[in-house]
Amino acid sequence: MKKILTSGIALLAAGVMGATSAQAETLRLLTWGGYAPENVIEMFEKETGHTVEVTKSNNEEMVAKLRATNGGGFDLAQPSQDRIAGAQAEFDIYKPIDLSKIDESLFIPSMLEATKGNTTYNGEVYGVPHVWGTSGLVVNTAEAGDVKDYLDLCDASVAGKVSYRLKRPTLIGFAFSMGLDPFAAYNDEEAYKDILSKVEAKLIECKPNVKTYWDGGDEIKNLLRSGEVVASMAWDTGGWSLNEDNADITFVAPEAGALGWIDTFVLPKRGRADEAAYAWINFVMQPEIAAMITTSAGNFTASQGGDAGVDEALKARYQASFPQEAIDNIKWYPTVPANLETLEGAVLDRVKAAN
């Protein structure tokens, strides 16, 4: 009897091991550099039994790879949220997210809802948020402490010491600061033209305040370090980097709202490891794991409480720039209709040429 019982237990154990083995999947992850660090992969594989194969890419390549395979070759991808609904409408390369398999309590609510809204196509949600960042104001608070919003860059107190790029974020930021809603007008060309006309006039009026229109991140950092520029439009991570060396310089979320991008999680249409994909999403959104990804990638994640385990100095800078109301006020980029780029380009060219 003892021999039979022992044999039965052995068979049961073998059956459980076999079931676990059968459920284990290989997750083919198409992502950005820094979003899937080796220490996180090792922890995930040990905890779940799944294995992870990482391919590093960018937005253009992700969409191109999935187009070439009709949504095959990968089980989870991470394009920005403005590369999802339009790509799905045109190329049919994703499949909807099963939200019942996502632990929504792990996410910052405003980011989750914004991403769900911006990635909805034909009533189905195709993406949830992961890593995010913003552009807004980088200010020398000792020299330009009154600069709290984009329009403040046109104030006489900072004349000749302002810089921003002649790019879309400048048009969008000024529009919001003027009480307009450019994103709401994206699908109404005439309404968007009217907004652009008002922003163009303001940017031309503001030109005497502009020291230079910057192109690269190193350029604006050097201008701020030297004191030639005391207030600018720039990225959050750039402001925090400058703050390490000069406590007076930091990133300020504008009163009208910082402009945000989100890299998401999406399921390719012909992925074959959905369970591993959902397991990875829920695993990396845990606050302690999210902190490890922030350390690796340099940007914060949409994990609720994910900033808690980050380097104390960086966490302090982040929390100073982004109290909860500033996070909830971020204006997230939606998909941009192709024809708007031509309209924006013409406006920016006229602003540059204006005397």
Per-residue model confidence as pLDDT tens for the chain (355 residues)? 333 334 343 333 333 333 344 489 999 999 999 999 999 999 999 999 999 999 999 999 999 999 999 999 999 999 999 999 999 999 999 999 999 999 999 999 999 999 999 999 999 999 999 999 999 999 999 999 999 999 999 999 999 999 999 999 999 999 999 999 999 999 999 999 999 999 999 999 999 999 999 998 899 999 999 999 999 999 999 999 999 999 999 999 999 999 999 999 999 999 999 999 999 999 999 999 999 999 999 999 999 999 999 999 999 999 999 999 999 999 999 888 878 889 999 999 999 999 8
185 and 116 share one domain: no
Residue (of 241, 242, 223, 240) closest to 232 by Cα position: 223
User: How many structural domains is the chain composed of?
Assistant: 2
Domain coverage including residue 45: 2-127+266-285
Nearest-angstrom CA–CA distance, 132 and 237: 11
8 and 50 share one domain: yes
pTM: 0.85
- CATH code at 199? 3.40.190.10
**Three-state SS at 286:** coil
195 and 343 share one domain: yes
214 and 341 share one domain: yes
| Angle between helices 312-321 and 236-245 in degrees, nearest 10 | 120
Provide the CA 326 distance to its chain's centre, in angstroms.
Answer: 15
Nearest-angstrom CA–CA distance, 135 and 253: 8
Evaluate whether residue 202 is within a structural domain.
yes
